[in-house]
Amino acid sequence: MDRYNVFLFMASLSAFLGVAMGAFGAHMMRATLGSEMMAVYQTAVNYQMWHALGLSMVAILLRFNPDSMLLAWAGWLLVTGIILFSGSLYALSISGVRWLGAVTPLGGTSFLIAWILIMVFAVQSGMNN
């Protein structure tokens, strides 16, 4: 499977799971979670969905730039960010285990580095035209 197909698969899987987690939260967890933890849960869903879209963008860009290591790294960092950021917030909100919040910034850092790599790719691509 080509890299762009891997990232397109990962993007669609993440979006699917984001919709499922959003529905689960709205219908099954609203009565269980307090307002603070519900807000944490909703943040996890929002970041997962936005970064699934970003991962889709990386997949499309890789389709036309298959040798770009910047895009490949950005894609893996987005996947890592979704797992660490959203995953830790889901786990924190459902379990109430506060130390899981210490993992969240690692995911956020992964997101930030991924977006920087995409910016660098854009600048470098603009110079080549």
What are the residue ranges spanned by the domains of the chain? 3-127
Confidence of residue 39 (pLDDT cuts 50, 70, 90): very high
Confidence (pLDDT) at 27: 85
Confidence (pLDDT) at 64: 95
Contacts of residue 66, defined as CB under 8 A and 6 or more positions apart, other chains included, come to 2, 3, 4
List pLDDT tens digits, range 42-71: 999 999 999 999 999 999 999 999 999 999
Residue 114 has pLDDT above 90, yes or no: yes
Mean pLDDT of 75-102: 94
Lowest mean pLDDT among 33-42, 57-66, 111-120: 33-42
Residue 96: count other Cβ atoms within 10 Å of its Cβ.
11
This prediction has a pTM of 0.93
Residue 116 has pLDDT above 90, yes or no: yes
Residue 112 has pLDDT above 90, yes or no: yes
Mean pLDDT of 123-128: 84
Residue 101: count other Cβ atoms within 10 Å of its Cβ.
14
Residue 103 has pLDDT above 80, yes or no: yes
Integer angstrom CA distances of residue 67 from 3, 42, 44: 9, 36, 32
